[in-house]
Structure 1
Amino acid sequence: MTDRPDYLERGEKARLFPVLADTSKEGRTTSIVLACLAHVQEFGRAMLATVGQRVGTRAQVACYTEICFKKGEKPKGDRPDGLIVLKIGGREWKALVEAKVGNNDLEQGQVERYLELARQNEIDAVITISNQFASTPTEHPISVTRRAAAKVELYHWSWMHVLTQAALLLQNDEVVDGDQAAILLELSRFLSHDSAGVKGFDSMPASWSELVQAVANGVAITPRTASAKEVVEAWHQEARDLSLILSRKIGVHVTTRLPRAHRTDSQARLKADLELLSKENIIQAAWDIKDAAGPLECCIDVKTKTIISSMKVRAPSDRVKANSRLKWLLRQLHNISAEEMFVRLHWTGPGSFTQHPLAELRENPDLVLRDRLNAQLHTLEVCLVRGLARRFGQRKNFITDVEALVPEFYERAGQRLKPWQASAPKIRESSTTVEEVEHEAEGEALSHPSPGSE
């Protein structure tokens, strides 16, 4: 690939050590990340895969900064931070990059101008990077008009998403080349430092405290309540941040669990969660973890100011009595601390679950026999339940406590749980051979001759 594509009027290869003014924090950070994307094969492959590009061993990736196109109207006061060019054989895929660091957020007008610039120059996509979160790279934190997004794909990476991809590759020793691994390690250290301007979701909006107080005062919350929409949107960002935190702590990709209809329609997800908040005063999220017994769940009960993290497993069907099914679960939790731990029992038929402290069930598993006399226990749920009292309504403390409790539950209980699996069928000890069957049939015929036989 040439040093600069012919459609660029200006542009420099992204540098690991950019020579830029101290005030150009965004330019410096973007250059370093794009240089790593181009030169660390596994990192480039992982990042581009999130925007639908499969990068094989023969693919070439080049990244540029300080770019200016020959064609198209120059956005006033704007200049894209970078350009990614992926060449696979005779095919080229190109993406503009616009980055914000620290508290700087993306702006709808600027994003739409870059979409138009991309369309004029036959660029396939625009990728934005900021500290704003989105459920997936295809779900953008900024709403743009349908016309603006026509013929150009729009993607978003949070800086924490970039950091998490690098951390996972390093934790799992997936970077084969030692020099490239060292470069990626330095990128991870750089993004983790305060000077890079990279941060996680660390505070709920002011409307969170207002909503908590309104619920405490008995005010009915509706989907149209002014604070409700902002709170739910903030919770969606926190759910994404938690998936990245869990990924780094566990060492595998953890993804936010969403219904199929919500994966590509953020408005449908917002509407459903607003309905849940208005009807039950709760917000919730769940995550999929590879090889875990089930989804990891978190429920925020605004009315009781409680955080609940939990995981469900199907009760073993080879046991009939409820206490026998419970004992199967208790054996998996025999050596964990029972503090704030509960077991919820889900039954067939009408009525909600029943719940007991783990400590009490350890002492007397037969307690469950009195819960639902004519119902069958079909699901067991282990829960860590923590009331926050005054801290619940405090914007930063709430996030701090959620991000501590969910990994704590997984470490204490979730990672120990195993799903029930039916045993393989066994050969019966008194099984009858084919020869025995034939011999018995002949004997039956001799002792009971058919009519007319001699």
Structure 2
Amino acid sequence: MAVVKPVEKSTLKPQEAWHQARLIPTTGIGGQDEQERRATSSLLAVMRAVPQFGRAVLFHLGAPAGRIDTFIEVRFLDADDKTVIPDGAVVVERGKTRWVCLVEVKTAGAALRPDQVERYLDIARAKGFDAVLTLSNQITASPAESPIAVDPKKTKKVALRHLSWWQVMTEARVQHEHRGIADTEQAWILGELIAYLDHEKAGAGGFDDMGDAWVSVRDGARQHSLRLADKGVRDVASRWEQFVQYLALGLCQTLGRNVEVAWPKKLDPAERLNESVRLIVEQGQLAAVVRVPDAAAPMELSADLRTRLFITSVEIPAPREGRAKTRINWMIRQLKDAPDNLRIETRYPNAKETVSATIKQAREKPEMLLFAADPQREPRGFRLLLGREMGSKRGKVAGSFVNESKAQAIDFYRTIVQGLRPWSASAPKLPGQVEPASA
């Protein structure tokens, strides 16, 4: 007689294998227009529903504090009686103050069109509105910089501002994960926007490619054949700026602090780009500096297209007290978790050349970093650098420039920069108290 085994009850709850319902679903996005419409409506609705997030976004546009109202597909007639339909509008009101901004949105790889944005600037000026906001996956150094060129006359009375979707995602994550949303329902709504924007179907990703000219410019730099007038060089320089901003915003999302790229303040965007082009052509390099609040020093990034190395570095001033070897040991002690191939360059006063060794060598023999001609000479500072073979592929896949460089920069910050502490002098000490003589 066959024995029937009892059916074991599963400890797995059935809902654990189900797809969770989403406030903003990604299903049913049929094309570019639908993708842009859904992204616009989702963002503007959440800006109104979660005022803390809305104010964080509008802060970049110079909007006043107040009650936020948002609208999509607003309609106007232009000077030729033709219908003009911006993707959305934001209205902020507080007492008698009223601030209005028109919104133009692009998703995925779609680029902003100058003629379209200029029409919205004309409408805004005619209606007495304050600003026009463009949103796309193009990343700029600041909201005041636009990825497109428009007639300067059209921005005299109306501010043109730009935000990337990566910047929007950064603000959402900082408010949700680091600042905290007190209202639980608002926190859930903002979390749903993050989940939506994070999905590939939303078309609201970060930086993902160095462009069509990347391979030819990279190879041309190695062959010393690039020219200042080469169009591809300018495109790579522009994409390098976007990549570094993308990296800084990514660190901001993780750390919850305002991480910034330290571009030269004296240069306007066009001059800054010209300098990057010149650096590529003359030295075959891309360079930038990233500042993290309260870090011991800025993190320097350099992509050497000729040697195919991506170099991350940080420079730390040496202590101003103690013998030369004592100051060197102070630096070595802070690098206990550093990889063996981290290089230390020690700078000395009145000497052009540095004294260099790997951290592995310095741990075993610290005197290697002393100034050979004068071992008593006190070091001025230390430069810690790590160079790895540069990713060669395009896109964000494993082995690509974007993927490998981002991973190296984050790893360098985690293992080196965040643990560094600048030297500080000890507080002056009073002499020991003298006991009064006994009678």
Q: Pairwise mapping of residues 15-414 of structure 1 onto structure 2 (< 5 A)?
A: 22-23=30-31, 24-55=34-65, 59-69=66-76, 72-73=79-80, 78-219=84-225, 221-262=226-267, 265-321=268-324, 323-334=325-336, 336-370=337-371, 373=374, 376-388=378-390, 391-392=391-392, 394=394, 396=396, 397-414=400-417
**How far does residue 276 in structure 1 lie from its aligned partner after superposition?**
2.3
CA RMSD after TM alignment: 2.5
Q: Pairwise mapping of residues 423-442 of structure 1 onto structure 2 (< 5 A)?
A: 423-429=426-432
Q: Which amino acid aligns with 1:242?
A: L
Describe the SS at the equivalent of 1:155: strand
**How far does residue 254 in structure 1 lie from its aligned partner after superposition?**
1.2
Aligned-partner Cα distance in 2 for 1:116–1:371: 69
- Measured at CA, do residues 73 and 47 of structure 1 come closer, stay the same or move farther in structure 2, by a change above 3 Å? farther
Aligned-partner Cα distance in 2 for 1:319–1:349: 19
CA contact (8 A) 2:125 2:158 kept: yes
- Measured at CA, do residues 92 and 71 of structure 1 come closer, stay the same or move farther in structure 2, by a change above 3 Å? farther
Deviation digits for residues 6-32 of structure 1 (CA, Å, limit 9, x no counterpart): xxxxxxxxx9799x9854211111111
Aligned-partner Cα distance in 2 for 1:354–1:344: 6
Aligned-partner Cα distance in 2 for 1:204–1:316: 41
Aligned-partner Cα distance in 2 for 1:228–1:326: 41
Deviation digits for residues 231-254 of structure 1 (CA, Å, limit 9, x no counterpart): 111101111111111112223221
CA contact (8 A) 1:222 1:274 kept: no
Comparing 126-135 and 195-204, the one that deviates more: 195-204
Aligned-partner Cα distance in 2 for 1:372–1:89: 73
Larger Cα Rg: Structure 1 or Structure 2? 1
Describe the SS at the equivalent of 1:67: coil
Comparing 373-382 and 294-303, the one that deviates more: 373-382
Runs of 5+ in structure 1 lacking a partner? Answer: 1-14, 434-454
**How far does residue 176 in structure 1 lie from its aligned partner after superposition?**
1.5
**How far does residue 74 in structure 1 lie from its aligned partner after superposition?**
5.6
Aligned to 2:13: none
Deviation digits for residues 82-125 of structure 1 (CA, Å, limit 9, x no counterpart): 00001122111111000001111101111111111111111110
Q: Give the TM-score taking structure 2 as reference length.
A: 0.87
Runs of 5+ in structure 2 lacking a partner? Answer: 1-22
Deviation digits for residues 259-291 of structure 1 (CA, Å, limit 9, x no counterpart): 2224xx201211222232233221111111111
Q: Which amino acid aligns with 1:392?
A: S
Aligned-partner Cα distance in 1 for 2:373–2:45: 62
Comparing 221-230 and 184-193, the one that deviates more: 221-230
Aligned-partner Cα distance in 2 for 1:371–1:246: 40
Q: How many residue pairs are counted as aligned between the two chains?
A: 408
**How far does residue 420 in structure 1 lie from its aligned partner after superposition?**
1.3
Q: Which amino acid aligns with 1:407?
A: I
Aligned-partner Cα distance in 2 for 1:223–1:358: 39
Deviation digits for residues 33-82 of structure 1 (CA, Å, limit 9, x no counterpart): 01111121210111111112242xxx211001121136755666x52000
Q: Give the ranges of 4+ consecutive aligned residues of structure 1 lying more than 4 Å apart after TM superposition.
A: 15-18, 20-23, 70-76, 393-396
**How far does residue 372 in structure 1 lie from its aligned partner after superposition?**
6.3
Describe the SS at the equivalent of 1:126: strand
Aligned-partner Cα distance in 2 for 1:282–1:261: 21
Q: Which amino acid aligns with 1:51?
A: L
**How far does residue 365 in structure 1 lie from its aligned partner after superposition?**
0.8
**How far does residue 181 in structure 1 lie from its aligned partner after superposition?**
0.8
Aligned-partner Cα distance in 2 for 1:90–1:135: 33
CA contact (8 A) 1:96 1:126 kept: yes
